[in-house]
Structure formats: structure tokens, C-alpha cells
């Protein structure tokens, strides 16, 4: 198995021969094994279950796959009655045991009767299995269909559903079958394919359907809809809400509560009544509160997610019928109402346009326009490529746009959990396991404690048996050791620090839906930032417009930048006024911020009149723009003599990231012809324009503006001599060509004031920062330098990768860029027909890489070994798609980084979910994809989260070490006293367990995070590393020495009375008990103080008033217990004190205090000097071998630092310069040809290097 590939694929292992898979080579790839029941194995298993009084069945409840293997035999999937689904995620695997059901067509035939309408004998039970919900016995859709037929006079007895099943094939087509085998896993149905003898995932109409196929749907008959519902199930996204009594029973079977039950029974049998009762009460209260909170969370999530409505569907006779949205199936044609609606399914628009708010899925509150998909057989529907034609489940349709009396209709392609909303809910219900060393080590450490308990158990049994004690006494004392070494209060204590951290994060307006991620955020050493909306402001400022003008030499060139208000009434102004996606909702203009700024700068008004006003535009889309200046005639009077200046927008081709442009077809009122205006990335518009219209200084001007961080778009125009009908049906690639280049639109994206100081603070803490954005490379680089993410003089090397093309092998080249900042703009020199940028000859050790998404895709596929070097030194990743952002996060994690992702929720959901700690700056529903959501839309939340995460991690470490040291300290006390058949008394146990340990564990986590600067190193993340293990061992060694010394030292006193084991039933304690108990209670207090660490991750312990106060009170009480306890305390604790009035005995009491003081000094010396200073800070760095480290990036960084010959800069750079200095050349006249080649090859080949490879961010 290729481990590196596993890491890059998110933990998905390579396909192994002889193993069956579902979702092969996909994100949810899983192995699947078939099993059939064995009568003999089942009988033997249940015999042992009965023999073990149900204990074996309890183990099977915890590990269901063991029950499967104990009662079933492996077989082929064709013979299987159950399947074991094994899902891998990095080093983890998750098992699901599912039953296979077979649906037979003859069982679902409908034979309606005159009364009762008995339908489908086995339908209710079958559908309950499919979607985990109960169904009504009489479906309203069936009843509706039968009533309609009955009213027509046709007898109901003549109605029969076809005796076959409508089962979707893997390619999305519907095939007729007599029966089908299915099973459900993670809310997705899998069907058996007889041809390939494998299970495939249930697909909607989004698989293999062409646009023409989708347009062929005219509505399903109610019978066909009912048949499809049998397979697809109800169109609902239901989060199962477990009944509270069932939830209580299931939680009570948790191993933690079972262990507590075992401990309590043991304590009651040993007459340890007080603490056992306290544990019972606290456990019951904890269980009930936990179950109540779980049930409440399920109810809230279910009510938030689940929604239903009545929808209108088109039937096969072109009739419209209203049905519940639960009954929708793929293939139904739904009518979108003019006033809008909440989408209950994923559907593709076939007719009309819609304005949709997709904030629930994307985090973008800006409404988007959805247009109908073209009716073409050569266009295969793809959700990502055709998202502008897809209405996604959970999104809000605000308005619809249609022509005349036509309906806005869409065909349903996915329902239920197959939808985009369903996928999001599934990711919440089945989150990937968190890869964090601390959680893994905590389980291993509990196993170590269990091993210690086993040793003590065996030792106690042997020694007590040798001394002739009864079997009941040996059993009770031996089992009691297990409850001491593995404290039942450990899980409760571990969550305390997290709960306090949650409260502190809420004070900073940071909300968390995954508390387990808080500890992980404490070790983050790499933060990825989105640019727009995260580091920079969402809004844009209009810098100006650069129009095309004619120079004295009769050549076209770009003029100086000017305000849009100074533009003449010509095509450049018309393009700015019409080429946008702005619409009017409730009297306000809404749309993309860039489009809003552009339209506002023109001082033109947008009007969307009703249908009655559209006849003058020959029924075009009712959107009109007109100037608002008072000197322009806008009245409709005397239109024939002097028509006002108005432009009607007939059709809009929406922005496509693949095409890098958008366009509109317009017509001026009174004009005979239509006109097309196009807006997009400069190089794309230049490539679509006629070469003679591209200004000669286009490249020079473009390079200046983009390098200074401005957002640059280009505008183009062409006349269209076509009819209205053709304008409605023509494809965009037929009209988006032969443009006349109009000019550049220059906008400014301001940096947020918090960005620069936060980046600087993270760098001081040795936390790496990366920008990953969808914007263009030069703009991203300029913002990176401005905010300090890239150093002012740091060398940046641009990566260019070419895929294989026409027999050529894939290529990877490195190109140096200048270190100039926007404050000192790049020096431009004219060299023949190109533009050269003077660059430094040599790179330095602090260079970093910058690359675009296209190059990333090529490197990721063809240069996987080189990718690790590029990721380690990568600082700017531009033009990255959402999938590529997620790939980058996974690559960083594979190299050993703990990665945080900070984004505004738009297009960042995949990366936010994949990161160790994702921080969403959006408060919309998209934040459910991120563990953390900040109400403050800036990056100031990042150091706050890291600071609180470090505090929570150190707290968890401290509590864990304290609980482990407490259990081992008590274990030592018991083992020492067991040597004379003595023990601690009930009240002594109660004092230690309840008043000392529990109080400290509760208050331990109240210490707040350190308020100073972030430390330059993170706290340890592994419990099983050298420092924590040595810490516990050293303290255990001290505990053993001091308790053993006191045990033997008290026996040397002249007043000492030996303990009589024969009277242990009446007198349980003795002088040995007093000595061991006295010193041990101070050890518990000192350990709490020692493990409560302060700076640089937490405040000083004295700032935690409750903890420091409780330590002070408990210390005073312990001194009183040691020196001179009241009589009722002596009686309750059954203390046997040194005789009163004896000077030597009184001095012994003081000696116990002095011994505790000496122990305190040694404990602090061990923890802070030996462990913290010597082991963690000094020796760790010297003994750390980076070649064997799990942090692979350390070795790669070392190699990059030492290798002065890498990276090899492209020879073409020097060739183009014609001199000693390297220059990057941009050929002006060949720009259009270069970009067209780039569309085919993924990049521009040859010696000409295109610097500005980017697309528009609309």
C-alpha cells in the first residue's frame, strides 16, 4: 500500500485485487465483504452468551462486526444476506454491518378495491428500512391518482401497477427488473448489479444524462412516480430522533457506565457506601443530563434540517397537480411558482430563469441567477459545470423570470439524501474521525493503566492467598485495585477543560459545533487563509476605467485611467450598464458586489417592469437600463420621433469559471439590431477580440494594474444581426467571438485592518501562513506582500506546469518574479514587441513558491514527488477551485502539519471540513461545514482560537496526568497497606476521591489562557512522548519513595503499635495507615498545583481563584487532619493517631508536614526543571531526528535549505532577456493566440511566458 498516496487521497487506500468495493476511487470508497448466517456458529455463540450472563452480547453490542463474524460465514456478495462495510480514513477505519433486502415486483402490485384502498402488502415495512421512517398505509399520491381515474368513469379494479420494478442503472437510466437486492449505509441506498456482480450507489438523473435527455422529461404518471418511490424512497432529509427511553438505555450500555456500574457494585459489596452512593448519584445525573442534551440536539437538528411543502408537478398530460414534496422522485417535472419557494430537491431548469439565494450551501448571501439548460445532445449534464442551471435543495428561490404565459419548470434530478443538502447533512451525521495524537494516546494510556492494574491484581491475589485469606476477601481487594488504578471519574475530568474553553470562545463570539476540535487547534502550526472576504474586504472600490483610444501614430492604445462618470455615451459605458447579473428584489438592487459597484459607477438606473411593459422589447427579458442624468430624455412620449436612451437586456449568459466570462444580448430602444456585450478576464476577452482592436500597450498596462493588486476585468462588444427567436436559442460560443476590445475595468480590493498585525503575530509564533484563493496570481501576490504573508524582499518563484499534449511529456518550469512591493511598482521596459520585468539573478534561502490551480492540477497528477517540495515552500495558491483547496489541506496534513483553514464560507466548505480546525467567517448555514464560526468577519479570531486551544490542550494534559498520578498514588498507598492486610478507611477514600480529587478536577480547567503574545512553540500533543511519560514516572517514583519511607519510618517510633490483621473487621486502620494517609493527602494537593501549568499557555494558577482557594482550604484541612483533628473526624476517619502528650509523637506529626514540604520542593524541581527545561526544551531539539520524524516537512525544509541548485529556473527566462539579467516576456500581438492555446493545453506552450494567467472573479 502506497502510504503517501493514501495521505493525498484523504486516507483512501489503493484498490486491492480480490477485494470488492463500493464507491471505488471516490471520496466514500469502502471495502465490502459478504456474509451468510451459519446455524452452527449462531447456536454456539448464543450458548456462550447465555453462559456469560449476557456479558458476551454486551461486547458484541460495542463491536457489532464481532457478532457478525461469530454468527455468519464469509461468502460472495451474490450469496450474502449481510455485508460488512469497511471505510478507511487515513489511519482509521470504520465498520458498518448492514442487512441485504430483496424487493420483488410481485409483492408491490396494486390491486385497488372498492373500499379501503389496500395498497402494497409489504410497502410500509420495506420503505421503513429504506429511509428509516414510517409511512402511511394509504398514500395521498396514489389516492389522488385513483380518484382522478375513478371520476373519469374507469373502474378502479382495472388499475394495475406494472409487474416490474423501475430500478435506476449505474448510468442513471431506468431499467425494468423483476427484483432487486439492496442495502442502506450512511443514508445511501446500494443496489445489486447482476452484470458486474457488485453493489452500486443509487444515482439520480445527474449520472450520464445529456441536456437533451433532461428536456425529454414531460412529467411522470402517478403510477410511475409511485414505482420510483419504492426504490428512491421519500424525498425527505430526516435526522433520526431516538426516543428518550431508548437513548437512555443505549447510553447506559456505554463502556464507561458499565465500568462505573461494576465499580459501584464492588464498593457496595465492600461496604464503601458513601463514595459509591455519591458516584451513583453523579452518574445518574450525568447520564440523564447527557441523554437530555443529546435528545435536545437531535430535536433541534432535525427541526432545522427537515422541511416539507406542497409542490406542483406536471403530469404526462401536461396537467399540473399539487402533491406533497415528500413524494417527489427523479424524473418529476416541478413548476417553480413566480413568488419563489424553498427548494425541496435538486432540479435542473428546463424553462425560464430563477433568482436564488444559495447562502445555505455556499455562505454567499448574494443572490444568483439561474438560467435554463440548453437542449443539446452533445452536452452531458454535470453538477459542477452546470451549477448555473441547477436549483439545489435547501436554497431559496426568490423570484422567477419567464416569457409570456410560459411556466418556469425544472426536472428533479436528486431527492432526499442524494441532494446537495442531503450530502451536507450526511457529513454532519457521519463526520470523519479527527486525526489527533492526544486522543489516540489517551486510549493507549488507559490501556497502560489497565496493565498496571492487572499486575497489582495478580500480585494481590498471590500475596493474600499465601497469607491464607478467604477467597471473598481476596476477590474484593483485588478487584478494588482495578477501580483505583482506572478512576471512573477520568472521562468527566477530561471534558472539564473543553467546557471551560467553549465558554471562553463564546465570549469572543467564536462558536463551536465540534468541541473535540478545540484541543487540536492548540497545536496548529499552519494556517491557510482565503483572500476575498477574509484578508481583504468583501466590498470593492471603483478605481476607474481604462478606455481604448487612438494615438498620434494611428495605433490603438489604452488611455489613462478615468472615472466612469466621464465616459461618453458609447459602447464601453453601455457594456458597464448592461453586462451584469444585478436584479431588483423588494425594491433594492442585489447581485455580485463587483456588478453592483460597476453599475452604480455608471449612474444608470436598472428597471424591471412587469409583463405589460415588455411589448416594446418584443417580449425580451423585462430588464431595462437607462441613464439617470437629467439631460437625457427618458420619457416614453413621442417615442417614434425621439426614442429615449434605453437598453433592454434580452438574454444573459451567466458567468462561468471555466469560460472566464459572462455576456448579455441587448437591444437599444428603436435600434434595428441586437448587440452583445462581454465581460471577463482580460486575457480571455483579448483572445476573443479581433487582433486589430487589441491596444498595443495592453500587456504593459494590464501588468501594472494586476501587479499592484487591483482587480482587472476587460470588456468587449460586437453587433448581432439575428432575429429575436435566434437570439433566444443561439449558443454562447457562436456569439462570444470576433469582439471589439473596449477597455479595462479597474477595481480595488482593500485589505482589512486586522489582517497585517494578525499575520505578523502568527509569524512571530512560528506559525506558517498560506494564502489559497480563487483570485488571480499577481493580485494575490500583491495582497500577500501588503499583509506581510510574503516578505517585502522575499523571492517568489512562480510554478508553471504543462500537461501532456500531442505526444509531449508533462513539463514543470520555475520562473523567478521580482520582490518589488506595491509601494514600489515594477519597472517596465519596452523590448521589441514585449514587456520585460527585471529580476534578480539568484534566489536566496527564503524563497517561496506561488502557483495557480491549473498548474496545481498538473503537478498533483504528474509530479506527486515534486509536489511535497512545492507545498512546503508554497505561500500563494491562486485560482484554486474548492476541490483543489481541499487537496492542498490534505497535502499539508500528509506532511505532518496541523492545518487550520480560515475562510468566509464561500467555496471553502471542503477545505474547512478537511482541516484540523476550520474557521468560518460566515454566520450562514454554511458554517455547519466548519467546526468553528466567528461572528467577527476578520482573521482576529485565529490567534484567539489558537490561544484557547493551547490552554485547553495544556489543561487536558494536566488533568489527565493528574488523574493518572492520583490513581497511581492511591494504588501505591493501597499496595503498601495491603502488605499488612490493612487499607484506607471509607471516609479516607471519600476525603481523597470526593473532596480532594473531584474538586481539583472541576476547578482545574478554570484557569484562563495566557493573555500575552503567542509562544513560539506549541504544547506537546502526545501523551506517550518522552516528557509526559518521564513526568508521570518521576512523580510516581517520588510518591513510592515518600510513602514507603513514612510506612517504615512510623514503625521505628517508640510509641508505635503494630497493626493486628486479625482485628481488621473492627479496627481497619493503624499507625501505618495514619502515616501513609497523612503524606498522601499532601501529595494529591501538590500534584494538582504542579500540573496546573501557567505561562506561556495559561495564566498563573493564582489567577484561578476557585482552584487556588480550594488548594488553600484543602491544605489547611489536611494540616488539621495530620496535626490535631477533632474527635468526630477521628471517629469518622477511623484514625489511629500518635499518642497525645508524647513529645516524640507530637514531633512525628510535625515531621509529616516537613516531609510533605520536602516532597513539594522535589515535585516542583522535577516538573519544571528536569521535565520542562531539560527534557522538553533542551534535549528534545538535540535528540530529534528529522529524518525519522512524523513531521516530514522538517526534512524537506532542511534539504531545500541546503540544496543551492534547486529550484532550476527556466532557461527560457534568460533566453528572452537577451542579456545577463532574467526577464519575463509577454508578447502583445500573440496574446490572443497564446490564450486560445492555453484553453486547449491547460497552459501556453513554447518560449513565450504568459505572466497574467488568471480568470475573472465575478
Q: Within 13 Å and on the Cβ side, how many CA atoms surround 521?
A: 30
- Looking at residue 620, its pLDDT comes to 42
> What average pLDDT score do residues 412-439 get?
78
Q: Quick one: CA dihedral 1195, 1197, 1199, 1202, positive or negative?
A: negative
Return the percentage of the chain with pLDDT > 70, whole number: 81
Highest mean pLDDT among 421-425, 935-939, 1171-1175: 935-939
pLDDT band at 1149 (very low <50, low <70, confident <90, very high): very high
Q: Quick one: CA dihedral 128, 132, 137, 138, positive or negative?
A: negative
pLDDT band at 77 (very low <50, low <70, confident <90, very high): very high
- C-alpha distances in Å from residue 257, one per residue of 295, 489, 490, 497: 18, 11, 12, 21
pLDDT at 748 over 70: yes
In order, the DSSP letters of 292-354 are: HHHHHHHHHHHHHH----EEEEE-TTS-EEEEEGGG--TT-EEEPPTT-EE--SEEEEEESEE
Pairing of strands 932-934, 917-920: parallel
pLDDT band at 1235 (very low <50, low <70, confident <90, very high): very low
pLDDT at 96 over 80: yes
Tell whether pTM > 0.75: no
pLDDT at 1254 over 60: no
pLDDT at 367 over 80: no
- Looking at residue 989, its pLDDT comes to 86
**Residues near 1146 by beta carbon (within 8 Å), at least 6 away in sequence:** 1138, 1140
> What average pLDDT score do residues 113-122 get?
36
- Looking at residue 911, its pLDDT comes to 83
> What average pLDDT score do residues 750-775 get?
91
pLDDT at 855 over 70: yes
Of residues 686 and 839, the one with the higher pLDDT is 686
- C-alpha distances in Å from residue 1173, one per residue of 753, 961, 1158, 1159: 38, 18, 21, 20
337 with 396: CB under 8 angstroms?
no
Of residues 248 and 1214, the one with the higher pLDDT is 248
Q: Within 13 Å and on the Cβ side, how many CA atoms surround 236?
A: 24
> What average pLDDT score do residues 1064-1076 get?
77
- Looking at residue 10, its pLDDT comes to 47
d(CA 275, CA 991): 9
The closest alpha carbon to 130, from 233, 235, 22, 239, belongs to: 233
User: How many other CB atoms sit within 10 Å of the CB of residue 722?
Assistant: 17
pLDDT band at 571 (very low <50, low <70, confident <90, very high): very high
d(CA 788, CA 757): 9
485 with 456: CB under 8 angstroms?
yes
Beta strands in 163-223 (DSSP E): 165-168, 174-177, 179-185, 188-193, 198-201
Highest mean pLDDT among 47-51, 205-209, 797-801: 47-51
All 3 cell numbers of residue 1129?
Answer: 473526624
pLDDT in tens, 435-454: 566 666 777 777 788 888 88
> What average pLDDT score do residues 331-357 get?
88
In degrees, to the nearest 5, what angle opens at C-alpha 725 toward C-alphas 723 and 730?
Answer: 90
pLDDT band at 1215 (very low <50, low <70, confident <90, very high): very low
How far is C-alpha 1144 from the chain's CA centre? 67
All 3 cell numbers of residue 729?
Answer: 436559442
- Looking at residue 726, its pLDDT comes to 86
Q: Which residues form the catalytic set? A: 530
- Looking at residue 1066, its pLDDT comes to 53
In the numeric block, the cell 512525628 is attached to 1148
- Looking at residue 523, its pLDDT comes to 92
User: Rounded to the nearest 5°, which phi and psi values hold at 559?
Assistant: -80, -175
In order, the DSSP letters of 809-831 are: PPEEEEEEE----TTSPPPEEEE
pLDDT in tens, 305-320: 778 888 999 987 678 8
d(CA 1070, CA 1134): 9
**Beta bridge pairs of residue 830:** 835
pLDDT band at 1257 (very low <50, low <70, confident <90, very high): very low
- Looking at residue 905, its pLDDT comes to 60
> What average pLDDT score do residues 1212-1217 get?
36
pLDDT at 1203 over 90: no
pLDDT at 147 over 90: no
pLDDT band at 159 (very low <50, low <70, confident <90, very high): very low
> What average pLDDT score do residues 1238-1257 get?
30
- Looking at residue 794, its pLDDT comes to 84
Of residues 509 and 585, the one with the higher pLDDT is 509
pLDDT in tens, 792-835: 778 889 898 888 877 888 888 888 765 443 333 332 222 222 22
pLDDT at 1219 over 50: no
Of residues 300 and 1122, the one with the higher pLDDT is 1122
pLDDT band at 464 (very low <50, low <70, confident <90, very high): confident
> What average pLDDT score do residues 706-721 get?
86
Of residues 285 and 858, the one with the higher pLDDT is 858
Mean pLDDT, the chain, whole residue set: 79
- Looking at residue 333, its pLDDT comes to 93
- Looking at residue 933, its pLDDT comes to 86
pLDDT band at 3 (very low <50, low <70, confident <90, very high): very low
pLDDT in tens, 766-798: 999 999 987 778 778 888 988 999 987 788 898
- Looking at residue 830, its pLDDT comes to 25
Of the listed ranges 440-454, 515-529, 569-583, the least confidently predicted one is 440-454
- Looking at residue 11, its pLDDT comes to 52
Return the percentage of the chain with pLDDT > 90, whole number: 28
- Looking at residue 1164, its pLDDT comes to 94
pLDDT at 889 over 80: yes
pLDDT in tens, 526-557: 999 988 778 888 667 888 999 998 776 667 88
d(CA 523, CA 526): 9
- Looking at residue 1047, its pLDDT comes to 94
pLDDT at 1253 over 50: no
pLDDT in tens, 252-307: 888 878 888 888 888 888 777 777 787 788 778 778 877 887 787 778 777 777 78
d(CA 1096, CA 1012): 8
The closest alpha carbon to 1206, from 810, 633, 814, belongs to: 814
pLDDT band at 929 (very low <50, low <70, confident <90, very high): low
d(CA 796, CA 874): 9
pLDDT at 355 over 50: yes
933 with 917: CB under 8 angstroms?
no
- Looking at residue 1142, its pLDDT comes to 87
With H, G, I as helix, E, B as strand and everything else as coil, classify residue 194: coil
**Residues near 1068 by beta carbon (within 8 Å), at least 6 away in sequence:** 982, 983, 985, 1134
Of the listed ranges 120-129, 179-188, 1178-1187, the least confidently predicted one is 120-129
Of the listed ranges 4-13, 359-368, 1043-1052, 1139-1148, the least confidently predicted one is 4-13
Pairing of strands 811-817, 409-414: unpaired
Instruction: Enumerate helices (H) and strands (E) in the chain, giving the number of each.
Output: 41, 45
Highest mean pLDDT among 9-13, 95-99, 902-906: 95-99
Of the listed ranges 130-134, 1031-1035, 1053-1057, 1204-1208, the least confidently predicted one is 130-134
Amino acid at each position: 500500500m502506497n502510504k503517501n498516496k493514501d495521505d493525498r487521497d484523504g486516507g483512501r487506500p489503493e484498490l486491492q485485487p480480490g477485494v470488492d468495493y463500493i464507491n471505488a476511487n471516490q471520496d466514500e470508497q469502502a471495502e465490502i465483504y459478504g456474509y451468510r448466517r451459519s446455524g452452527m456458529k449462531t447456536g454456539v455463540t448464543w450458548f456462550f452468551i447465555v453462559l456469560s450472563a449476557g456479558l458476551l452480547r454486551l461486547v458484541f453490542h460495542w463491536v457489532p462486526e464481532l457478532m457478525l463474524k461469530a454468527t455468519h460465514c464469509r461468502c460472495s456478495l451474490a450469496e450474502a444476506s449481510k455485508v460488512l462495510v469497511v471505510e478507511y480514513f487515513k489511519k482509521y477505519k470504520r465498520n458498518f454491518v448492514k442487512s441485504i433486502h430483496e424487493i420483488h415486483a410481485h409483492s408491490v402490485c396494486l390491486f385497488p378495491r372498492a373500499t379501503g384502498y389496500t395498497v402494497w402488502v409489504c410497502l410500509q415495512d420495506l420503505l421503513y428500512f429504506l429511509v428509516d421512517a414510517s409511512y402511511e398505509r394509504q398514500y395521498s399520491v396514489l389516492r389522488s391518482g385513483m380518484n382522478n381515474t375513478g371520476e373519469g368513469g374507469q373502474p378502479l379494479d382495472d388499475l394495475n401497477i406494472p409487474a416490474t420494478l423501475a430500478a435506476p442503472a449505474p448510468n442513471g437510466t431506468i431499467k425494468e427488473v423483476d427484483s432487486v437486492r439492496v442495502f442502506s449505509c450512511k443514508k445511501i441506498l446500494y443496489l445489486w448489479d447482476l452484470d458486474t456482480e457488485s453493489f452500486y450507489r443509487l444515482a439520480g438523473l445527474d449520472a450520464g444524462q445529456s441536456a437533451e435527455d433532461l428536456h425529454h422529461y414531460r412529467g411522470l404518471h402517478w403510477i410511475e412516480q409511485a414505482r420510483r418511490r419504492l426504490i428512491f424512497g421519500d424525498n425527505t432529509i430526516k435526522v433520526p430522533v431516538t426516543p428518550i427511553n431508548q437513548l437512555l438505555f443505549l447510553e447506559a450500555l456505554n463502556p464507561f457506565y458499565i465500568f462505573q456500574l461494576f465499580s459501584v457494585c464492588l464498593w457496595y459489596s465492600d461496604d464503601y457506601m458513601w463514595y459509591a452512593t455519591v458516584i451513583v448519584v453523579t452518574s445518574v445525573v450525568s447520564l440523564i443530563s447527557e441523554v437530555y442534551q443529546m435528545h435536545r440536539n437531535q430535536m433541534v437538528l432535525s427541526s432545522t434540517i427537515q422541511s416539507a411543502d406542497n409542490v406542483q408537478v406536471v403530469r404526462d398530460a401536461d396537467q399540473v397537480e399539487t402533491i406533497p414534496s415528500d413524494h417527489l422522485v427523479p424524473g418529476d417535472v416541478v413548476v417553480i411558482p413566480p413568488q419563489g419557494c424553498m427548494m425541496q430537491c435538486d432540479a435542473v431548469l428546463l424553462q425560464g430563469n430563477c433568482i436564488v439565494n444559495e447562502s445555505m450551501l455556499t455562505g454567499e448571501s448574494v443572490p444568483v441567477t439561474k438560467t435554463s439548460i440548453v437542449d443539446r445532445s452533445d452536452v452531458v449534464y454535470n453538477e459542477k459545470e452546470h451549477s448555473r442551471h441547477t436549483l439545489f435543495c435547501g436554497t431559496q428561490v426568490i423570484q422567477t423570470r419567464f416569457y409570456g404565459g410560459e411556466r418556469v419548470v425544472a426536472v428533479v434530478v436528486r431527492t432526499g439524501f442524494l441532494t446537495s443538502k442531503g450530502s451536507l447533512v450526511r457529513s454532519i451525521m457521519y463526520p470523519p474521525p479527527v486525526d489527533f495524537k492526544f486522543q489516540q494516546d489517551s486510549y493507549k494510556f488507559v490501556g497502560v493503566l489497565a496493565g498496571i492494574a492487572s499486575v497489582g491484581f495478580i500480585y494481590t491475589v498471590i500475596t493474600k492467598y499465601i497469607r491464607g485469606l478467604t477467597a471473598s476477601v481476596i476477590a474484593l481487594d483485588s478487584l478494588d485495585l482495578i477501580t483505583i488504578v482506572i478512576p471512573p471519574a477520568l472521562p468527566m475530568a477530561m471534558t472539564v477543560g473543553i467546557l471551560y474553553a467553549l465558554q471562553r470562545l463564546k465570549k469572543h463570539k467564536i462558536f463551536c459545533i465540534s468541541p473535540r476540535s478545540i484541543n487540536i487547534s492548540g497545536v496548529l502550526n499552519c494556517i491557510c487563509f482565503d483572500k476575498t472576504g477574509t484578508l481583504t474586504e468583501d466590498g470593492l472600490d471603483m478605481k476607474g476605467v481604462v478606455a481604448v483610444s487612438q494615438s498620434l501614430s494611428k495605433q490603438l492604445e489604452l488611455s489613462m485611467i478615468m472615472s466612469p462618470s466621464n465616459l461618453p455615451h458609447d459602447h464601453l459605458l453601455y457594456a458597464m450598464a448592461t453586462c451584469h447579473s444585478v436584479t431588483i428584489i423588494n425594491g433594492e438592487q442585489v447581485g455580485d458586489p463587483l456588478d453592483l459597484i460597476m453599475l452604480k459607477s455608471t449612474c444608470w438606473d436598472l428597471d424591471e417592469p412587469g409583463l405589460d411593459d415588455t411589448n416594446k422589447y418584443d417580449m425580451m427579458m423585462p430588464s431595462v437600463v437607462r441613464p439617470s442624468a437629467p439631460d437625457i430624455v427618458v420619457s416614453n412620449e413621442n417615442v417614434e420621433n425621439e426614442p429615449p436612451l434605453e437598453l433592454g437586456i434580452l438574454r444573459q449568459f451567466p458567468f462561468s469559471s471555466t469560460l472566464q466570462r459572462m455576456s448579455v444580448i441587448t437591444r437599444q430602444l428603436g435600434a434595428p439590431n441586437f448587440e452583445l456585450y462581454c465581460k471577463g478576464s482580460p486575457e480571455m476577452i483579448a483572445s476573443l477580440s479581433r487582433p486589430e482592436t487589441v491596444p498595443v500597450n495592453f500587456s504593459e498596462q494590464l501588468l501594472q494594474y494586476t501587479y499592484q493588486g487591483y482587480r482587472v476585468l476587460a470588456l468587449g462588444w460586437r453587433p448581432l444581426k439575428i432575429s429575436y427567436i435566434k437570439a433566444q436559442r443561439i449558443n454562447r460560443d457562436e456569439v462570444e467571438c470576433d469582439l471589439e476590445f473596449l477597455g479595462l475595468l479597474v477595481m480595488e480590493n482593500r485589505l482589512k485592518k486586522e489582517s497585517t498585525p494578525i499575520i505578523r503575530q502568527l509569524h512571530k509564533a512560528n506559525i506558517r501562513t498560506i494564502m489559497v484563493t480563487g483570485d488571480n496570481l499577481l493580485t494575490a501576490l500583491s495582497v500577500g506582500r501588503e499583509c506581510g504573508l510574503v516578505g517585502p524582499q522575499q523571492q517568489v518563484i512562480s510554478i508553471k506546469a504543462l500537461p501532456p499534449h500531442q505526444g509531449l511529456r508533462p513539463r514543470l518550469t520555475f520562473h523567478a518574479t521580482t520582490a518589488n512591493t506595491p509601494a514600489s511598482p515594477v519597472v517596465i521596459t519596452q523590448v521589441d514587441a514585449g514587456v520585460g520585468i527585471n529580476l534578480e539573478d539568484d534566489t536566496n534561502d527564503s524563497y517561496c513558491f506561488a502557483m495557480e490551480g491549473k498548474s496545481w492540477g498538473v503537478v498533483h497528477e504528474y509530479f506527486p514527488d515534486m509536489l511535497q517540495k512545492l507545498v512546503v515552500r508554497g505561500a500563494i495558491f491562486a485560482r484554486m477551485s474548492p476541490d483543489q483547496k481541499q487537496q492542498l489541506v490534505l497535502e499539508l496534513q500528509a506532511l505532518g502539519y496541523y492545518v487550520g483553514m480560515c475562510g468566509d464560507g464561500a467555496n471553502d466548505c471542503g477545505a474547512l471540513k478537511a482541516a484540523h480546525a476550520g474557521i468560518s467567517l460566515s454566520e450562514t448555514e454554511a458554517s455547519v461545514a466548519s467546526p468553528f464560526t466567528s461572528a467577527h468577519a476578520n482573521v482576529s479570531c485565529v490567534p484567539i482560537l489558537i490561544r484557547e486551544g493551547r490552554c485547553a490542550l495544556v489543561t487536558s494534559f494536566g488533568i489527565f496526568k493528574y488523574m493518572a498520578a492520583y490513581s497511581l498514588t492511591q494504588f501505591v498507598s493501597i499496595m503498601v497497606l495491603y502488605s499488612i492486610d490493612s487499607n484506607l478507611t471509607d471516609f479516607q477514600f471519600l476525603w481523597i476521591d470526593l473532596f480532594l480529587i473531584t474538586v481539583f478536577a472541576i476547578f482545574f480547567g478554570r484557569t484562563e489562557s495566557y493573555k500575552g503574545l503567542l509562544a513560539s512553540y506549541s504544547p506537546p500533543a502526545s501523551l506517550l512522548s518522552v516528557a509526559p511519560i518521564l513526568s508521570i514516572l518521576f512523580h510516581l517514583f517520588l510518591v513510592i519513595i515518600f510513602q514507603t519511607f513514612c510506612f517504615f519510618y512510623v514503625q521505628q517510633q517508640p510509641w508505635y503499635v503494630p497493626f493486628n490483621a486479625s482485628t481488621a473487621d473492627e479496627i481497619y486502620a493503624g499507625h501505618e495507615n495514619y502515616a501513609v494517609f497523612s503524606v498522601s493527602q499532601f501529595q494529591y494537593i501538590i500534584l494538582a498545583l504542579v500540573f496546573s501549568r501557567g505561562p506561556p499557555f495559561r495564566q498563573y494558577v493564582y489567577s484561578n481563584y476557585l482552584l487556588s482557594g480550594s488548594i488553600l482550604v484543602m491544605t489547611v484541612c489536611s494540616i488539621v487532619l495530620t496535626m490535631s483533628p477533632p474527635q468526630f473526624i477521628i471517629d469518622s476517619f477511623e484514625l489511629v493517631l500518635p499518642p497525645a502528650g508524647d513529645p516524640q509523637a507530637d514531633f512525628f506529626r510535625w515531621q509529616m508536614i516537613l516531609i510533605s514540604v520536602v516532597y513539594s520542593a522535589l515535585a516542583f524541581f522535577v516538573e519544571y526543571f528536569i521535565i520542562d527545561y531539560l527534557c522538553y526544551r533542551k534535549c528534545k531539539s538535540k535528540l530529534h531526528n528529522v529524518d525519522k520524524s512524523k513531521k516530514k516537512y522538517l526534512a524537506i525544509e532542511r534539504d531545500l535549505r541546503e540544496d543551492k541548485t534547486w529550484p532550476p529556473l527556466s532557461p527560457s527566462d534568460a533566453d528572452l532577456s537577451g542579456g545577463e539579467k532574467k526577464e519575463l516576456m509577454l508578447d502583445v500581438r500573440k496574446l490572443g493566440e497564446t490564450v486560445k492555446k492555453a484553453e486547449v493545453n491547460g497552459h501556453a506552450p513554447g518560449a513565450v511566458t504568459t505572466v497574467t494567467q488568471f480568470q475573472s472573479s465575478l
